[in-house]
A and B are shown apart, each in its own frame.
Chain A
Amino acid sequence: MGDTTATPATDPAVKKGELASDAGRARRPRFLPGSVATHLALGLGALVMVFPFCWQLLTALKSLAEVSRVPPTFLPDDWRWASFDEVFTALPFREMLTNSALNTLGRTAGQLVFCSLAAYAFARMRFRGRDALFGLFLSVLMVPSSLLVLPQYDIIQSLGLLNSAPALFLPGMFSAFGTFLLRQAFLALPRELEEAARIDGAGSFRVFWSVMLPLIRPALAALAVITAMAAWNDLLWPLIVNTDPEAMPISAGLTSLEGQYETNYPVMMAGSLIASLPMLLVYVFLQRHFVQSVAASGVKG
């Protein structure tokens, strides 16, 4: 790894006022053949990760005649944006996007409310049967979702909710993972705050709502982000409960486009780009919470 002679005292990074613990990382050797090779390998991998999306965009901008040319052209002959309009007439695209949004909001709001309430009780209150109940709730984590969709479908049907927005988000509002994640966050909070609020005469709900809940905001954000992503991308459940195109979310709707427009790749690529965009934007703006939520679920296995 080359030069290791620079001491923290003479390291320019430290003089610039960076944290002392980062000094080791910031220490850069002058000659970097290994580093160039690392960047080459990482860059090649990153290209493999991102290139399909560039190709998707380029395809969406070509004409139908151009995409079926051999050999394929790289850049479009003329940049044609019409496919982005055509997807709105080929499918009830607007309704599908709305359904996806409702599904995402419903599940996320539900999990934040239901899971935080239960997580608070499990982490902070004493009551009979707590351990047993918590164990029972966690068992939901271990059951594959496909095992449950048949009876879940029957329940949604008997509630008269097939082909409605609530059908999409109802079961997903309740989550064992969310409860577990938030319980961990509540467990880490100090006792004193809670006791102080109690002495001031606050009831259980008041303590939960105004004192404890604001303190676990990072965990709530992480749960919101991961739930939103799962909801937006979900496919199997929507395919089952909402078979009417106008009631489908975009994830299921695009697969029906594939059936009808098997060969119209520009329109399909335009549709999938529009459908991926909301989550990509959320990701770009809330990247920290994505990483945090994935890391939080993974490290303390």
Chain B
Amino acid sequence: MSVFPATAAAKAADRRAARTGGTGPASRNQRAAYLFIAPLGLGFALFYFWPMIQTFYFSFTEFGPFGGHTWIGGDNYARVVKDVTVWQALGNTLVYCGIGLTALPLALVVASLLNRRGLRAVPLYRALYFVPFVTLPVAVGLVWNWLYNGDFGLLNEVLGWFGVDRHYWVSDPSTAVFAIGAVMVWSTTGYYLIIFMAGIKGIPRDYYEAAELDGAGAVRRFFTITLPLLSPTIFFASVICMIQSLQVFDLIYIMMGEKNPAVGDTQSVVGLFYKWAFTENAQGAAAALAFLLMLLIAALTYLQFRLQRRWVHYG
């Protein structure tokens, strides 16, 4: 399917220009178009298309001590599939993805609260909720590590008022994933909030007023108007959120020191890839791992597109 609805006449002119090869004004125009695209095209070729091909090639090779790549067939893929740490990292990544997705309902609730008629200070709230998303992730990770600190952290102190025992949140394997996941949710909710607020703005106000006249309460209006009419936006946001959280790396790298006893229990797939590729010199296996991650993302995205037919309503 063509992205551009071009007329038959225009297409004929294009063909004519291509045939005559460089004399008429139309072909001069063509040459100009290629010149406009060339800088980006060269950059893409060098830094994106060529690397795509290379990664695929690397995944079938072994990185030698003198810098060369030796072809070893599917051994890297066999190694990845047999490796316990891969399955652990995959499990952790899926948990992060599940936790990360809870940012969506949170953002949705805040967005519909902000949609309340006559509410003041909406831009202020929006700004405050968005601040964590703008902030340097390293700063976010460091301050949360400090809040979570088992000995001097504020979180333990506050929970202590309610009789909860002191806990080492990021070094206990049973809570570390959730501690990091909570920070993920905290820092992305504002982003989805803005996407949802923009979506809600597109819903005609009359619908809410009509529902109100019929006696529908706020909760009822949310489920019968906001949720169905916003479903295309929610779908888009859930796809983005899933793709992002399957590639989580920054926060884990920042919040987990190398000596942390929970390292293995919090490692994500990209974290493992980084370790293999840049600290253990297992480039081939790392490439195979990255390639399998891409296939997983593609498969889950496809699944979401299939499932959308059941719940997304396009007006």
Residues of A within 8 A of B (CB): 1, 4, 24-29, 34-35, 38-39, 41-42, 45-46, 48-50, 52-53, 55-56, 59, 67-72, 110, 113-115, 117-118, 120-122, 125-128, 130-131, 133-137, 140, 142-152, 154-155, 170-171, 173-174, 176, 179, 203-205, 208, 229, 232-233, 235-236, 239-240, 250-251, 254-255, 258-259, 262, 265, 268-269, 272-273, 275-276, 279-280, 283, 287, 290-291, 294-295, 297-299, 301
List residues of chain B with CB within 8 A of the CB of A171. Answer: 43, 47-48
List residues of chain A with CB within 8 A of the CB of B52. Answer: 143, 147-148
List residues of chain A with CB within 8 A of the CB of B37. Answer: 117-118, 121-122, 133
Give Cα A125 to B35, complex, Å: 12
List residues of chain A with CB within 8 A of the CB of B240. Answer: 298
Residues of B within 8 A of A (CB): 2-4, 6, 10, 13-14, 18, 26, 29-30, 32-34, 36-37, 39-41, 43-44, 46-52, 54-55, 58, 110, 113-114, 116-119, 121, 125-132, 134-140, 142-144, 146-147, 151-154, 157, 160, 186, 189-191, 194-195, 197-199, 202, 205, 209, 212, 218, 232-233, 235-237, 239-240, 243, 246-247, 249-250, 253-254, 257, 270, 273-274, 277-278, 283, 286-287, 290-291, 293-294, 297-298
Give Cα A283 to B236, complex, Å: 24
Query: Nearest chain B CB to A246's CB is how many angstroms away?
Result: 18
Q: A174-B48, A301-B232 are in contact. Are A4 and B139 (CB under 8 A)?
A: no
Give Cα A262 to B170, complex, Å: 14
Q: A150 contacts B191, CB within 8 Å?
A: no
List residues of chain A with CB within 8 A of the CB of B131. Answer: 49-50, 53, 280, 283
Query: Nearest chain B CB to A278's CB is how many angstroms away?
Result: 9
List residues of chain B with CB within 8 A of the CB of A291. Answer: 126, 130, 194
Q: A143-B294, A255-B254 are in contact. Are A130 and B4 (CB under 8 A)?
A: yes
Q: A118-B41, A127-B14, A150-B54 are in contact. Are A134 and B3 (CB under 8 A)?
A: yes
Q: Give chain B's interface secondary structure class.
A: helix
B110: nearest residue on chain A (CB-CB)?
Answer: A45
List residues of chain B with CB within 8 A of the CB of A174. Answer: 40, 43-44, 47-48
Q: A204 contacts B29, CB within 8 Å?
A: yes
Give Cα A27 to B118, complex, Å: 6
Q: B236 contacts A120, CB within 8 Å?
A: no
Q: A29-B118, A255-B138 are in contact. Are A127 and B34 (CB under 8 A)?
A: yes
Q: B40 contacts A147, CB within 8 Å?
A: no
Q: B138 contacts A49, CB within 8 Å?
A: no
List residues of chain B with CB within 8 A of the CB of A137. Answer: 40-41, 44
Q: A208-B36, A290-B134 are in contact. Are A131 and B14 (CB under 8 A)?
A: no
Say which residue of A117, A146, A295 sits within 8 Å of B290 (CB atoms). A146
Q: A38-B116, A46-B128, A290-B130 are in contact. Are A146 and B18 (CB under 8 A)?
A: no
Q: A42-B113, A71-B157 are in contact. Are A147 and B291 (CB under 8 A)?
A: yes
Query: Nearest chain A CB to B287's CB is how many angstroms away?
Result: 6
B258: nearest residue on chain A (CB-CB)?
Answer: A259
Kindly list the 4 A-B residue pairs having the minimum CB-CB distance in the complex, ordered from nearest: A301-B236, A272-B139, A298-B195, A174-B43
Give Cα A187 to B124, complex, Å: 33
Give Cα A29 to B209, complex, Å: 15
Give Cα A179 to B197, complex, Å: 25
List residues of chain A with CB within 8 A of the CB of B250. Answer: 235-236
List residues of chain A with CB within 8 A of the CB of B118. Answer: 25-29, 35
B57: nearest residue on chain A (CB-CB)?
Answer: A151
Q: A250 contacts B198, CB within 8 Å?
A: no
Query: Nearest chain A CB to B295's CB is how many angstroms away?
Result: 10
List residues of chain B with CB within 8 A of the CB of A114. Answer: 39-40, 43
Query: Nearest chain A CB to B246's CB is how many angstroms away?
Result: 8
A208: nearest residue on chain B (CB-CB)?
Answer: B36
Query: Nearest chain A CB to B180's CB is how many angstroms away?
Result: 15
Q: Which of B40, B147, B273 has the most CB of A within 10 A?
A: B40
Say which residue of A4, A204, A232 sits within 8 Å of B36 (CB atoms). A204
Q: B202 contacts A299, CB within 8 Å?
A: yes
A262: nearest residue on chain B (CB-CB)?
Answer: B257
Q: A275 contacts B138, CB within 8 Å?
A: yes
Q: A254 contacts B212, CB within 8 Å?
A: no
Q: Which of B143, B146, B236, B298 has the most CB of A within 10 A?
A: B143
Q: A147 contacts B55, CB within 8 Å?
A: yes
Say which residue of A72, A251, A276 sits within 8 Å of B152 (CB atoms). A72
A52: nearest residue on chain B (CB-CB)?
Answer: B143
List residues of chain A with CB within 8 A of the CB of B287. Answer: 150
Q: B36 contacts A233, CB within 8 Å?
A: no
List residues of chain B with CB within 8 A of the CB of A128. Answer: 14, 18, 30
Q: Can you report 9 residue pairs joining A to B where beta carbons are below 8 Å apart?
A: A1-B212, A34-B218, A46-B125, A120-B36, A126-B14, A127-B33, A147-B52, A269-B142, A272-B139
Q: B138 contacts A126, CB within 8 Å?
A: no
A170: nearest residue on chain B (CB-CB)?
Answer: B47
A46: nearest residue on chain B (CB-CB)?
Answer: B128
Q: B199 contacts A72, CB within 8 Å?
A: no
Say which residue of A38, A59, A149, A233 sits within 8 Å of B146 (CB atoms). A59
Q: A152 contacts B51, CB within 8 Å?
A: yes
Give Cα A146 to B131, complex, Å: 26
B274: nearest residue on chain A (CB-CB)?
Answer: A236
Query: Nearest chain A CB to B301's CB is how many angstroms away?
Result: 8
Give Cα A135 to B52, complex, Å: 16
Q: B143 contacts A53, CB within 8 Å?
A: yes
Q: Which of B140, B144, B151, B246 has the most CB of A within 10 A?
A: B140
